[in-house]
Amino acid sequence: MSFKVVNAAELWQRDTSLPSIPTFSQSLDNVFGNEGVRLGSLTELLGLPGSGKTQICIQLCASVQIPKILGGLDAEALYVDTNTNFTAERFQEIVVASLTKCYRLLDYHTQVDEEAALEKLHYVNAFGLERYCALMLRLPDIVEQHKIRLIVIDSIAFPFKEGILPNQRTGLLFRQMADLQRIAIEKQIAVVVTNEMTTRVGLSSGDIVGSMGDSWAHRCNTRVLLSKDDADRRDRVAVCLKSNDSPNTVGRFRITQEGIRDIQ
C-alpha cells in the first residue's frame, strides 16, 4: 500500500476547487457550509417527522443537475429509500422548478426536458435489512455505472430497527459507513443520510437525541438538526451541531411547492 504526502496548501486548493450542492436557500447553505453540501463528505440530517429531512434530500437530488455554466455539477443522484418516504411526483415538481429557475438565470427560453431530468435520479427500494445490506455491497458498482455525485440514504436507522442485536448493528453499520466514506472521498461524491430522533432516558427526565448512539455521531463530517419554527409553522429551522469546516450556525428556510427556498 502506497501513501501520498501532501501539504496544507495542496489540500486547501483541492477542497476549495470542488463545487458544493446548493439547497436553493442561502440561509440553509450557510448551515452546511458557504455554498451547500460538500462533495467528498458525509452529512447527517436529524429531525422529528415533518421537519423537512426528505424535502431537503429531494431538493439536493434536483440541485445536483444544475448546469456547469452556473457552477453546478450537471450530474446524477442515487436515492436509497428505506422507509417509503420518496415520491416521484414530488421530485418532478422540485426538479422542474429548480431547472426552470436556472434557465431563467441563463436567459434560456426553453422548456425543461422532464424525462431527461427524471432519468438522472436513480432510485433503489431498500426496505428491510437484508435488501439494504445487499445494496451496500453493490454500491461501488452502481456508482461506476452512472455519473453519480450525490448519494442519499433516507433513513439510515430504519433498516436496523428489527432483526439484529445492538452489538451486531454497531459493527455492521460502522463497516458500511467506512465504505461510504471511502467512496465519498475517492469518487468525490456527497453522501447525505437522514436519521430519526429517539428518547434517551436519564435519571430524572428523557432527552430527545439522534438515534444510533453517540459513537455513530462521530462518523459524520456534518450533522444538522432540523425542526419546525415556533414563530411560523410553515418555516423550518436548521442548526449545525457538528462540522469539520464551518462554525455552528442557525438558518431558517421554507418548504414551498417549488422546493426549498429562503424565507422572504
pLDDT digits (tens, 9 = 90+) for 89-108: 999 999 999 999 998 888 87
Q: 120-146 pLDDT, tens per residue? A: 999 999 988 889 999 999 999 999 999
Tell whether 25 is covered by a domain.
Answer: yes
Tell whether 4 is covered by a domain.
Answer: no
Tell whether 167 is covered by a domain.
Answer: yes
Residues with Cβ within 8 Å of 26's Cβ and at least 6 positions away in sequence, in order, are 262
DSSP-derived pairing of the beta strands 222-228 and 235-243: antiparallel
Look up the domain containing 194 and give its range.
19-261
Q: Residue 162 is part of a domain; what is its CATH number?
A: 3.40.50.300
Tell whether 105 is covered by a domain.
Answer: yes
Grid coordinates given for 89: 411526483
Tell whether 12 is covered by a domain.
Answer: no
As a whole-number percent, the residues of the chain with pLDDT over 90 amount to 56
Tell whether 94 is covered by a domain.
Answer: yes
Mean pLDDT of 113-124: 95
Tell whether 232 is covered by a domain.
Answer: yes
pLDDT at 65 over 80: yes
Predicted TM-score (pTM) of the model is 0.90
SS3 label, residue 54: helix
Instruction: Please give the tally of structural domains in the chain.
Output: 1
Grid coordinates given for 147: 455519473
Tell whether 41 is covered by a domain.
Answer: yes
* Measured distance CA(174)–CA(22) in Å, rounded: 28
pLDDT at 207: 54
* Measured distance CA(198)–CA(209) in Å, rounded: 5
